[in-house]
Amino acid sequence: MIIREAFDDVRRFSEFQKNLGLARNILSSRLKQLVDIGVFEICPASDGSAYSEYVLTDKGRSIFPIVVAIRQWGERNVFEKGEIHSVLVDNALGEPVQSLEVRSSDGNKLAPGDCHRRRVRTGEEEDLV
């Protein structure tokens, strides 16, 4: 939820706390962990104030497809018919973004039963059994 908020341009501790309703100690701990693993960096406030901001790094921004997938699942499965909720909209087109799908290397849509996991060593193509 913290990362989702960051993609919605939330950057300050107080904004995260207000939007998420987390206790200060829990939010502080989670943000510290996300900084420690390189998802966020702490930067001076963009408005020149004395506050700091939590800004997504390249590593953090690479989580975007995961956040979109979870958001789209929620759009389809969490809300009752007629209930007001948000959708992710393409800035250029003004239309909701296309639903993410898992596809094979030749472009076919894959279901969970259509694929399996294979253990590999990072940076190598060979299988590890």
Residue 90 lies in a domain: no
Q: Which run of H or E residues covers position 13? A: helix 13-20
Residue 28 lies in a domain: yes
Distance between CA atoms of residues 37 and 79, nearest Å = 33
Residue 54: beta bridge partners? 42
HSE value, Cβ hemisphere, 13 Å, CA-based, for 95: 4
Residue 111 lies in a domain: no
Question: 37: which 2 tokens?
Answer: 């693993």
The total of structural domains in the chain comes to 1
Q: What is the CATH number of the domain that holds 77?
A: 1.10.10.10
| End-to-end C-alpha distance for the chain, whole angstroms | 36
1-36 pLDDT, tens digit each: 999 999 999 999 999 999 999 999 999 999 999 999
Domain that holds residue 31: 2-84
Phi, psi of 17 (to 5 degrees): -65, -45
39-84 pLDDT, tens digit each: 999 999 988 888 999 999 999 999 999 999 999 999 899 999 999 9
Q: What is the pTM of this model?
A: 0.79
